[in-house]
Chains A and B, each alone.
Chain A
Amino acid sequence: MAQEASSSTSSKTISLKTGDGEIFEIEASAAKQMKTVQRLIDDLGDDITIPLHNVFSKELPKIIEYYKKDITGEITKDFEAEFVKDLNDDEVKVLFLAANYLDANKLFEFLSQNIADRLESKSVEYVRKYFGVENDFTPEEESKLREERAWSFRGIKEDE
């Protein structure tokens, strides 16, 4: 496990390989922000291409874009708003899962907030679909719950 002592880690780049076989470069300092990547670097060395089985070429560039801004301290509310502006709910979900897998804390926090914002006032059915939740309540159980918690359904849209 030969590890080169690099005099300037800031200019070193790491190669990442997505689950669908594409390779992307990222600065070592940005890689540090993704704990999963850093762990893999620690285990495998920083000279080989790091395999990321659960991240794909569709979302990795976006993640790299985010951390490129992060290492220069340029992440602002405007940047974050712009970052998610053109993404639909499913695209955000995919990014979120990637951020979770990569243990990329800052992005994970930001996307958690964004998902919550998108789900606000959506119907129960929408949220179920979004999270892939199987409804295992019987109709009787469900209506009893709705009755008990009637106060919490104000403002939530009903599906259909």
Chain B
Amino acid sequence: MSSQRSIPTEDRISTLPDSVISHILSFLPTEQSAATSILSKRWNPLWLSVLTLNFDEQNFADFATFRHFVYSVMLLRNITLPIQSFRLKCGKSSDFNPHDVNRFIHAVVQRGIQNLNLYLLTPWIRCFKLPQCVLTCNSLTVLKLKWLTMDDFSKVNFPLLKTLHLANISFSKPIYLKRFLHGCPVLEDLQIQNVWLSGYKCGELKGLPKMVKANIDIQGWAFPFAWVRNAKFLCAKLYRPYDCQVPVFHNLTHMKIVFGWTVNALIRWKWIGKWTWMTEVLQNCPKLQNLTIHQHFNNTSTHGKFIFDEIVNEDWVDPPIVPKCLSSELGTCSLIAYEGLKCEFQFAKYILKNAKALHTMKISASEVDLNIKHQMLMKLSLCPRGSTVCKLSFD
């Protein structure tokens, strides 16, 4: 074994192998890692051996300069060197040209790409269309798309895709989203935010078999949760009454439901039976260990809150049978943005009484006046608890 004398940090860091240096460089935006080429003769070629490319237009004066940089890098790099990860963020400049972006994407999908992240910032009227070559890029394991439209397509082939994040994407018909997801047989992590479809109707759907984590935030239509029925972790933000059938979530252990609202929701949708729906969901999650409910009032004015209370919140009704997860599984329950509304209090009371395995009930009421908070805490502390180890935490 080596001697006991310690080696100074400076020496240790300068003797780091090229692979470790390249690894650190792979986390930098490409133009920053390119700058390291002047550090020393040893560092000069290292940035070109990095398998990750990360291009962000905001660090450049305009699209023309940005485009010049991207082309230069692609040409300087050894053509046989794969591109494992490619991130492209652009579209804001007035001289944006989609043909260049198409060329970049074409070049990249041919180089064994595993992780593709496209974030387009073009305004809606010039929304970028995803080139078809991406849809049959079968080496992809991670795909993240933001602000694009999907052209009509016949086939999607992602045999290795584990992570899919779609944000602000429009599909011309619901069938295309369905076709997209069915082309991802081993998908584990799904995030869908603001995906636009017109004319969606709930129908029979197979659940994605390997689902682990799903995060769904959609305003205009009801996402078919049957697709993600095999997930262990689910976070769903709902803006309107959910009128499709709630599937059974056989594996779900952690769930977060956010009841969002928009001005539209306020005026157009009365969700009578919201808490009844919540009960149905609980009935369908036999293994649920951790539940979070967040009633999210974005920038609510007093006026808005008043209307909201009146229209949307009806009383909680105790279900006839205690949901299975409450009898044996639920360990943690969190209520965020608690306002002490009657239905919220009744729900909390029901959980405290019936959740036999509950160890933490966490209430978060940060916007509320201290005196009112104290009253809420007192009221809840007096509720009978079905679990002897249950701790009530208030913040």
Contact = CB atoms under 8 A, between A and B. Distances in A.
Contacts of B12: 54, 97
Given A53-B1, A54-B7, A152-B34, A116 B43 contact: no
A82 B222 CA distance: 37
B314 interface: no
Given A116-B25, A133-B43, A154 B34 contact: no
Contacts of A131: 13-14, 16, 21, 39
User: Which of B20, B25, B32, B34 is the most central at the interface, judged by chain A CB atoms within 10 Å of its CB?
Assistant: B32
Interface in A94-121: 94, 97, 100, 112-113, 115-117, 119-121
Contacts of B61: 154
B6 A56 contact: yes
Contact of A116 (B24, B35, B44): B24
B6 A154 contact: no
Contacts of A127: 36, 39
A75 interface: no
B302 interface: no
A77 to B, nearest CB: 14
A55 to B, nearest CB: 10
Nearest to B31: A152
A93 B13 contact: yes
A151 B41 contact: no
A115 B16 CA distance: 14
Given A116-B24, A146-B38, A53 B4 contact: yes
Contact of A156 (B10, B23, B32, B43): B32
A97 B11 CA distance: 11
Contacts of B39: 124, 127-128, 131, 133, 135
Contacts of B69: 151-152
Contact of A153 (B4, B14, B35): B35
A112 B38 contact: no
A133 B34 CA distance: 16
A137 B12 CA distance: 22
B255 to A, nearest CB: 17
B2 to A, nearest CB: 6
A66 B44 CA distance: 34
Interface string B38-81: 11111110000000000000011100010011001000000000
Interface in A125-160: 127-128, 130-137, 142, 145-146, 149, 151-156
Nearest to B25: A116
A131 to B, nearest CB: 6
B50 to A, nearest CB: 11
Interface residues of B, number: 41
B32 to A, nearest CB: 6
Nearest to A151: B69
Interface in B304-334: none
A45 interface: no
A99 B25 CA distance: 17
Contact of B40 (A20, A136, A153): A136
Nearest to B28: A116
Given A146-B38, A151-B65, A121 B32 contact: yes
Contacts of A135: 39-40
B29 interface: yes
A113 B27 contact: yes
B38 A124 contact: yes
A121 to B, nearest CB: 7
Interface string A38-56: 0000000000000101101
A117 B38 CA distance: 20
B286 to A, nearest CB: 21
Contact of A145 (B2, B23, B38, B59): B38
B37 interface: yes
Contact of A53 (B2, B14, B68): B2
A74 to B, nearest CB: 12
28 contacts: A20-B6, A53-B1, A53-B2, A54-B12, A97-B16, A119-B24, A119-B28, A119-B32, A121-B32, A124-B38, A124-B39, A127-B39, A128-B39, A132-B11, A132-B13, A132-B14, A133-B43, A134-B40, A136-B40, A136-B42, A137-B38, A137-B40, A137-B41, A145-B37, A151-B31, A151-B65, A152-B32, A153-B35
Given A53-B6, A120-B32, 11 more contacts: A53-B1, A53-B2, A100-B20, A116-B27, A119-B24, A120-B29, A136-B40, A145-B37, A149-B35, A151-B68, A154-B60
Q: What are the 6 closest A-B residue pairs judged by CB atoms, nearest first?
A: A116-B27, A132-B14, A152-B34, A132-B10, A116-B28, A113-B27
